[in-house]
Amino acid sequence: MTTPPVIAQPDLEAWVWSQIKGLSPGITSFAYAASQVFPGWIYVHFIQVDARAKRKQAARDLAEQARQVIYALADTPWAEGAVSFIQPVEGPMWLPDDDGLPRYVTRYEFRVHPKALPASAVTNRRKAASARRTA
């Protein structure tokens, strides 16, 4: 039995942040869940984006700007991998901070994969397929 290759999971959380952080000091994001759909190839990340501002309408406008940037990520080149799917799972929704300051929250599901499978993974799959055909 061969050892499966170690495939580094793309750091989607950092990449999303690098794309939206320049919108406003009121924008924040964090990953709240991640899992593998197809081990070593398709990863699912859930990221929350908070948009804060002094006025409710300004917070909503900021949430919309972030949404547009996030939807464009599927077509944006990324050195670590590729985004193959994006959808909001909640929001944008009005959820003021505990102190009452305006905030809109949106949670997104992303599916990503590394740039390419390492050569060892392709070789191991070919060997396994060949072994099944000759058995």
Give per-residue pLDDT as tens, 105-119: 999 999 998 876 555
The answer to the question of residue 38 being in a domain is yes
pLDDT tens-digit series, residues 5-45 = 667 778 999 999 999 999 999 999 999 998 888 777 888 99
Contact 92, 58 (CB under 8 A): no
Question: Does residue 132 surpass a pLDDT of 60?
Answer: no
The answer to the question of residue 2 being in a domain is no
Q: Which residues constitute the domain of residue 39?
A: 12-134
The answer to the question of residue 3 being in a domain is no
Bond before 114 cis per omega within 30 degrees: no
| Strand ranges in the chain using DSSP code E only, listed in sequence order | 27-38, 42-52, 81-94, 103-114
Percent with pLDDT over 70 in the chain: 82
Q: What is d(CA 95, CA 101) in angstroms, rounded to the nearest whole number?
A: 9
User: Is the overall model pTM greater than 0.75, yes or no?
Assistant: yes
- The count of structural domains within the chain is 1
CATH number at residue 36: 3.30.2000
The answer to the question of residue 4 being in a domain is no
pLDDT tens-digit series, residues 64-92 = 999 999 999 999 888 888 899 999 999 99
Q: Supply the pLDDT for residue 22.
A: 95
